[in-house]
Structure 1
């Protein structure tokens, strides 16, 4: 029998998203490196041009203004050293905070509506979650153990879904996510739907979450 998810449940979870702390980008980047041992690297930033927030890359049609790598060798710049991170953001305090995937974590990315549906289901199943971001592009990114990219096609096939049939993808080696409180132009800032805490330092495997995520994405089509 199909599971029914109350229409208000996702909205209730959305209302429970914690307010972001007022720390600077510099202090936040240092904390990610120091406390979570995540590699971090500074991306582009926003600049006011004729009263409009534009990306520092100079492209007026930038798809992710203020939230993408500033140079091609970004992967070699990413560091897990709090000291190096502090030095990087001291040079450009408004730079976005970007986290490379495929190192200490991969990220499974789904639409926001499916993400909230999945969170509601995971809550009922008492699944252990890692951190989860909510982006201004209305996407949710679930942090999981590295290797999700390689596993995802087979995991979806086992659940009866052809790879590519759902709006669900994994970000691994060679990709990155923008971390809170990075801003995307005028669209707002990245937030934590599930904030990093000592309790979720150990990340789940993609296999533990994929059923709920695929179910929610199927409902969201």
Structure 2
């Protein structure tokens, strides 16, 4: 886990921090104090999200102390943001985007939701983009400034986080598309193909 965390932080300059681990007494539950946590093991807790960093020494210290801790990306700022949707709908939407020739960057796949990484965006930019759409499925989620996303190969209460579309090999930070292109194409694919995206 520490190797992946160091790649994200030092080579790609993505600010990361360790997530709260799943509850050892019940892996489907979270180790945080919330008994009804909906993202078990896939969110920051201690340290808090604002502690996310690209500092090599801090990242090494965190994962030396907690080698199995999930890797959490603090989205926004200079780091990628993400657009996520339920896994079954995401798989069909990606197939539709491929047929349309849409270029995508990395796609993170958790057992229940997949997230398409996109370039950083502002809340104002996102608001204007969504306002211009005739219909935006309620199951789409936007991980922007102040948000977070568990990265591969994290183990969470819902299972393993993996790459559905892995970054190309190399030390440079992966290319990610603009949010406008992803939202426009995803919404169009869902509406045109009748892809079902349930509200969860």
**TM-score over 0.5 for the pair:** yes
Conserved 8 A contact 2:49-2:74: no
- 1:140 equivalenced with 2:99 (yes/no): no
Structure 1 residues 113-124: aligned runs within 5 Å: 113-124=88-99
Conserved 8 A contact 1:156-1:214: no
Instruction: List gaps (5 residues or longer) in structure 2.
Output: none
Structure 1 residues 28-177: aligned runs within 5 Å: 28-49=4-25, 52-53=26-27, 54-71=29-46, 73-75=48-50, 77-103=51-77, 104-136=79-111, 138-147=112-121, 149-161=123-135, 165-177=137-149
Structure with the largest fraction of helix:
1
Name which of 177, 186, 191 aligns with 1:204. Answer: 177
Kindly provide the CA deviation profile for residues 134-177 of structure 1, in whole angstroms up to 9, marking residues without a partner as x: 112x211111111164333433443422x5x5321211111100
Q: TM-score normalised to the size of structure 2?
A: 0.83
Change in CA separation of 1:157 and 1:98 when aligned onto 2, cut-off 3 Å: same
Structure 1 residue ranges, 4+ long, deviating more than 4 angstroms after superposition: none
Kindly provide the CA deviation profile for residues 17-71 of structure 1, in whole angstroms up to 9, marking residues without a partner as x: xxxxxxxx1111112112322111011113432xx33533254443222222123
Conserved 8 A contact 2:118-2:176: yes
Distance in structure 1 (CA, Å) of the matches to 2:3 and 2:151:
13
Q: How far did residue 205 of structure 1 move? A: 0.4
Instruction: List gaps (5 residues or longer) in structure 1.
Output: 1-24
Superposition RMSD in Å:
2.3
The higher radius of gyration belongs to 1
Distance in structure 2 (CA, Å) of the matches to 1:177 and 1:217:
23
Conserved 8 A contact 2:108-2:116: yes
Q: How far did residue 86 of structure 1 move? A: 1.2
